[in-house]
Every structure is written in C-alpha cells, then in structure tokens.
Amino acid sequence: MCDHEQVNIDVLVKMIQFFDDKLQPTKHDRPYQYSVVIRVPYQQCTEQFSLDSVFNTDEMENAFNDFKTNGQRRLCEVTQDLFSLAAAKPSWIQMTGSSEETLHSEYALIYPMDATNTSPMDKILRMPNDDQCVVLYTYYSPCIEKCINYKADTILYDLSKWLNTHKTGIKALVFQEIWHKDWSVVRDQFAKINNRVPLYRCVKENSQTKCYKCGDASSETLNQNCVS
C-alpha cells in the first residue's frame, strides 16, 4: 500500500491542543476517555490550524462546554460551513437480561448505530468536496480486545472503508495515552491500524503537546514513542 499524504506534525499539535481545551471531559478531576472525528479544509492540516473563528458562536461554545462537563451527554455533533466535528464518550448499552456492555467512544463515531445505518463519521465523509483533511482522535488508544481483535465487530473494517471512500485529501488516526491493559501487545496491533490509516501519537511532555508519526504504511516497525 502506498503512503498517504501526511498531516503536518506542528499543525497536528495545534489541533490536539484545541481538542484538549474545548472538549476533553474529566472524571474525578482526571482526563476521561473520549474521541473526536473532525473534517477541515486541506490547508488546516498542512499550513495552519485555527478553529477559533469557525466554532465561535454561543451555540457552538455551549455545545462544546456541555459535552465537556455534562456526564450524561455522550455525543456532540457540530457543522459550520466546510468544518464538521463529532465527539463521543463511552456509552453503556443494555444487553440481554440485566447485563450492560461498554460501547467504546471511537467505535461509536465510526460504526453505524442509528436507524439510518449512518455513523457520525459517515455523515462527515459524505459531505461534498474531496480536498479535505479528516482526523480521528481518541484520548486512549483503541482497545485491542474489542476495537481490533473482536470477532463480531471491529473498527478495522470501518478504517478500511474510510481508506476506500476517502481517496484524496489527508487522513490520520491519533491517540494520546495507551490503555493500560494493552501495553504488552500494542506493537503488532497498532501496525494493523497504521496499515490502513496513518497513525500518530500526541502526548504531553513538560506541559507541552508533542506529536509523533508512528510509522510508514505497511511498516512492521513503529516509532518507539508510539508503543512505550
């Protein structure tokens, strides 16, 4: 598979800082898992990222703040001209009997769950204008057991669909922290993601955000900063 055109690392830093500031929920005063998918014009991923002049209405600000602070709000979707954003927190769905199952936030964004069989990411990808940049960000890395290796449903299928339907522009999947249960197996599993959509990690270092490209397409060796 050929390498895709890459997002500018310095610009990606600004994007993740925007997410941290506007959308990052907390629980017991600690960052809480959430995911964001955003579509912006191409130049917003290569030259300069700035959304303060885009999502600056009271309605947009209230939507962001409600998602950030309201524990009951699991999804936020906003669109302004050529800019679209959807954010999700983990949810709990009722199974048979009294049991509940966790619906992971990145899964909720890319996998169709409503009656129209359309996911928040589907809506964003179906917007006109192919000259675009689409970034999927998740605070914790996609979980290995359910999000990658789960036999029934896996995000890998929808990442492949993303690759096949969004043939132009820039795409990236970004994570910050590694889910603690997955430390021992992330190297091989993250390569499965990177072979479909370019994978990046953005972390806080001395209170500053720094982003790393995890590897080239089809690479079996990932950047050490992405797996440790």
d(CA 61, CA 91) in angstroms, rounded, equals 23
79 falls within a domain: yes
23 falls within a domain: yes
Query: For the chain, how many residues are written?
Result: 228
146 falls within a domain: yes
What is the residue-wise DSSP string for 131-175?
A: SEEEEEEEEEPPPIIIIIS-SS--HHHHHHHHHHH--SSEEEEEE
Sequence-separated (6 or more) residues with CB below 8 Å from residue 2? 217
4 falls within a domain: no
Q: What residue numbers bound the domain in which 38 lies?
A: 9-227
Per-residue model confidence as pLDDT tens for the chain (228 residues): 345 678 999 999 999 999 999 999 998 889 999 999 999 998 899 998 888 778 888 998 999 999 999 989 999 999 888 889 999 998 866 445 555 557 788 888 887 666 677 889 888 888 776 678 999 999 997 766 666 666 556 777 777 777 777 777 899 999 999 876 655 556 677 888 888 889 999 999 888 999 999 988 767 778 888 888
In 3-state terms the chain splits into helix, strand, coil percentages (rounded to 5) of 35, 25, 40
Domain tally, the chain: 1
Provide the CATH number for the domain around residue 14: 3.40.140
3 falls within a domain: no
42 falls within a domain: yes
d(CA 211, CA 133) in angstroms, rounded, equals 17
